[in-house]
């Protein structure tokens, strides 16, 4: 596969962002270089806090290139941003089916079954 087919030169990786960064701040910072088609600030699912990187996609390559040249190394919130063309994600290994670490017939409770314990089986 050639590099032209796998790399979208309009989509940029923006890294080393402060954890306080917002999509609105990024949009304001990058919009001056051209029309933004898509912007995704990557956040932690549990906390909702920024993971410190984002992806910004421009309408064309010249806009993306102008943003790289202007924004790479620029300070945002006390951190020097890293801005470059986003690489496609690496293919994931096929590790086979997920393993179930549970036992067979699970009745629930602590101790389970008819062996006593908390909440499982008959006690009399």
Tens-place pLDDT, residues 58-94:
999 999 999 999 999 999 999 999 999 999 888 888 7
Tell me if 63 is assigned to some domain: yes
Tokens of 122: 């008959």
pLDDT tens for each residue of 10-68:
999 999 999 999 999 999 999 999 999 999 999 999 998 999 999 999 999 999 999 99
Tell me if 95 is assigned to some domain: no
Tell me if 108 is assigned to some domain: no
Tell me if 69 is assigned to some domain: yes
Tell me if 45 is assigned to some domain: yes
Tell me if 123 is assigned to some domain: no
Query: Residue 40 pairs with which residues in a beta bridge?
Result: 55
Tokens of 18: 């402060």
Tokens of 99: 């393993």
Helix (H) or strand (E) holding 102: none
- Does the pTM of the predicted model rise above 0.75? no
Q: How far apart are CA 58 and CA 23, in angstroms?
A: 15
Tell me if 104 is assigned to some domain: no
Domain of 71, in residue numbers: 7-85
Q: Is 30 helix (H, G, I), strand (E, B) or coil?
A: helix
Tokens of 27: 């949009």
How many independent structural domains does the chain possess? 1
Tell me if 72 is assigned to some domain: yes
In eight-state DSSP terms, residue 66 is H
Any idea what the CATH number is for the domain that residue 35 is in? 3.30.70.330
């Amino acid at each position: 596969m050639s590099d032209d087919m796998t790399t979208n030169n309009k989509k940029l990786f923006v890294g080393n962002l402060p954890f306080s960064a917002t999509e609105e701040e990024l949009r304001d910072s990058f919009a001056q270089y051209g029309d933004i088609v898509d912007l995704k600030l990557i956040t932690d699912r549990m906390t909702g806090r920024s993971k410190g990187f984002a992806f910004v996609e421009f309408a064309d390559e010249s806009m993306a290139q102008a943003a790289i040249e202007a924004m790479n190394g620029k300070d945002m919130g006390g951190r020097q941003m890293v801005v470059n063309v986003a690489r496609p994600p690496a293919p994931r290994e096929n590790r086979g089916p997920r393993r179930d670490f549970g036992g067979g017939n699970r009745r629930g409770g602590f101790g389970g079954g008819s062996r006593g314990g908390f909440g499982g089986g008959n006690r009399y």
